[in-house]
Structure 1
């Protein structure tokens, strides 16, 4: 035990040192001020597209980008860069690059996923929408961009052949985009307005991907490797941390259920806890298997809708926690919500996202920082400290329940 005590005291000293260093840094960031830091469409996709379209440096930024992706493109004459490229019923491609010279052409589809969930056959639909635009397989590239380089799930690639799946290039903000921005900064070193904007964007990416803590991690690594007893401890700590995360997530769901049950009684809604996948109620067993097992939470029956089925309020976790509304038809299916126009206008007004599984959904933010979401995949120290503090947890569930009640009032439900 004495060895553990000494080890943690040393860790604490290192942590305090970096807290002091970080407290003295200038944390002004125009992106954080003007946008949600995790807004993949209105911040990240748009900013990347504007860089690629820049009238003076866009071509160079594209060349660097292609080099980082190891994509070969012929000596093109024309390029079109699109953000939110609409393909009708096939959805919107986050970023699309089209190159051409005479009869030669190439298209790069970039699916940008910060936190939005994959939709059924999403990459398949985008791929074949370009095939229908007379691109051949050899003329198409698919790039899947996430914070940490995660692969698309089976829902997203459903319908693609093995050969087509192998075409997908997996990249991350944490490595590839930061490296790209680094090179772009050097390219515009003598253009202050672009250089400083790129530096701020890079700082934002380091923050949301956790890369800004690299020096702290390196120093802890040196400490651990300096003593084999410390090395043994680290292997045990990993198991301890996992158990802590399980307990804290269970505590969150339990406290949230208590609060929402009060609302349910008042609004004559009923908790559904025996529905099948994808409508599972949370449980300690599901949490223990998270993130391998996802899509569990709380489900409340609101009312029957004539000729449609049953309307539910659902709070759920994939990576982040979100809530929304779902119809389950009389055959038990719930994957048709995208084509149902029920409350469509109202959800657009609320800026809720509509998908096959949701009439509308919204990610849940922390009451302490509206730009920071409840994220059980990354489960950073801020979230752990919040959930471990009973008073703060009470404020969090109050913040969530009030937001849900405001939405129910706006939608005139129950």
Structure 2
């Protein structure tokens, strides 16, 4: 068995290295150029994805295609019905406010995209919850359902769409407790990308609109299905031999333990090395590195680590937070663990809320989701070639230096 596992791991490694080589060649040819990536908007649920979808769906949108994109969305994503007519009076709203969240968490919030159909269409209002990397909120879909029921009086008058990268289901926490209600899952990987291809065809005589749609669809390809072909090759290689298949199943059963070893081995060592390098760079400030224990819930792991930056009795905590079973990774400066004097200063990172007043940002796409190929790529990056030339190192060291500037303001 041991020899078979070694052969299997060797074959997987060979295929993965071929994938990395292909990705490098694609990048050299400029095929990864994308205006949305250049502007750093790829993961922005509100500023890019909700705004882009809403603009295309809006019959009054600047695209000049009227209700054609909205009709295509309904046909391609929901109804497969050619009898959809005249949606020109549909109203599209992003971040639709349904009131403050109540103490019991059963009402209020903001709907990512609300599509109010014309009365004569006899189509239900669409409530779209748009999830790229953010985790579910408690009772989130339950609140939207309660609002719809109170507003329209009948569940037939509205439809909840849960939009994610891969069409995954909402968490039980988001659905909440109470009477069951209907919702539909849709994905960027399949539904939205197919619809965008249709939109590009509709806009054949509007080159600027068509090119923007194509670029956006290419971005979705990068963040959803860019690795599907390579994954299929791996699966076919494993399935080609019964011994490979049995040993792969065994390895899958040990996934969490293997991930723990990877994180607490070369990755932790890299993070500790970053602390030492950062200490030299931002001296006389001091930098400390700390990490949390693994949290395992329902078979999913989560973790986190911090860099504590100090000057005398002043402290700033730069936190790296993992959610959704190591899928979503973001970093920033939380209020907790940071000296109060700093909390009145301008945000350091792009996004902010009441518990991250100095801001937070998502890690780059290539460093999200430590359950799959991305973790392999991180290990490859850290163990091959010069450590300080890796993007992983540069991303974290830059965030530490950016945070340290608070002490100079």
Report if TM-score (shorter chain) is over 0.5. yes
Is this contact kept in 2: 1:324–1:359, CA < 8 A? no
CA contact (8 A) 2:169 2:185 kept: yes
Corresponding residue for residue 316 of structure 1: 321
1:84–1:92 Cα contact (<8 Å) kept: yes
CA contact (8 A) 1:77 1:99 kept: no
Q: 2:60 aligned with 1:60, yes or no?
A: no
**In the alignment, which residue of structure 1 is the partner of 2:136?**
118
SS of alignment partner, residue 133 of structure 2: coil
Distance of aligned partners of 1:254 and 1:362 in 2 relative to their CA distance in 1, 3 Å threshold: farther
Question: Counterpart of 1:323 in 2: which secondary structure?
Answer: strand
Say which SS state the counterpart of residue 162 (structure 1) adopts. Answer: coil
Query: How far did 1:97 drift?
Result: 0.5
Q: How far is the alpha carbon of 1:230 from its aligned partner?
A: 4.3
2:396 to 385, 396, 400: 400
Query: 1-side partners of 2:210 and 2:237: how far apart?
Result: 36
Structure 2 Cα separation of the partners of residues 411 and 116 of structure 1: 30
Question: Judging changes above 3 Å, is the alpha-carbon distance between structure 1 residues 133 and 228 closer, same or farther for their aligned structure 2 residues?
Answer: closer
Matches within 5 A, 1:273-284: 282-283=292-293
SS of structure 2 residue aligned to 1:143: strand
**Mean alpha-carbon deviation: is it higher for 58-67 or for 41-50?**
58-67
Alpha-carbon distance in 2 for matches of 1:188, 1:401: 44
CA contact (8 A) 1:320 1:363 kept: no
For the pair 1:292 / 2:300, whether they are aligned, the reply is: yes
From 45, 50, 59, the counterpart of 2:55: 50
1:220-299 alignment to 2 at 5 Å? Answer: 220-235=234-249, 238=252, 244-250=258-264, 251-253=266-268, 255-256=270-271, 282-283=292-293, 285-286=294-295, 292-294=300-302, 296-298=304-306
- Give the alignment's TM-score, normalised by structure 2: 0.71
Which ranges of structure 1 fall in alignment gaps of 5 or more residues?
A: 274-280, 304-309, 330-339
Instruction: Provide the rounded CA distance (Å) in 2 between the counterparts of 1:208 and 1:17.
Output: 16
Question: 1:386 aligns to what?
Answer: 381
Counterpart for residue 35 of structure 2: 30
C-alpha displacement of 1:317:
1.0
What is the distance in 2 between the residues matched to 1:31 and 1:69?
24
8 Å Cα contact 1:346-1:411 kept in structure 2: no
SS of equivalent residue, structure 1 residue 321: strand
Rate the CA distance shift 1:94–1:299 in 2: closer, same or farther, 3 A: same
Deviation, 1:176, is: 1.8
Change (3 A) 1:7 1:112: closer
Is the contact made by 2:292 and 2:305 (CA closer than 8 Å) also made in structure 1?
yes
2:346 aligns to what?
Answer: 346
Greater shift in the superposed pair: 133-142 or 66-75: 66-75
Distance 1:207 1:213 in 2: 8
Shift of 1:114: 0.8
Count of residues in correspondence between the two structures: 378
Kindly report the root-mean-square deviation, in angstroms, between the aligned alpha carbons of the 2 structures.
Answer: 4.6
In the TM superposition, residue 222 of structure 1 has moved relative to its aligned partner by 4.4
Kept in 1, the 8 Å contact 2:99–2:110? The answer is yes
- Contact 2:256 2:301 (C-alpha < 8 Å) held by counterparts: no
**Which residue in the other structure is 1:78 paired with?**
89
For residues 186 and 331 of structure 2, what CA distance do their matches in structure 1 show?
28
Question: 1:101, CA displacement in angstroms?
Answer: 1.6
TM-score, normalisation: structure 1: 0.70
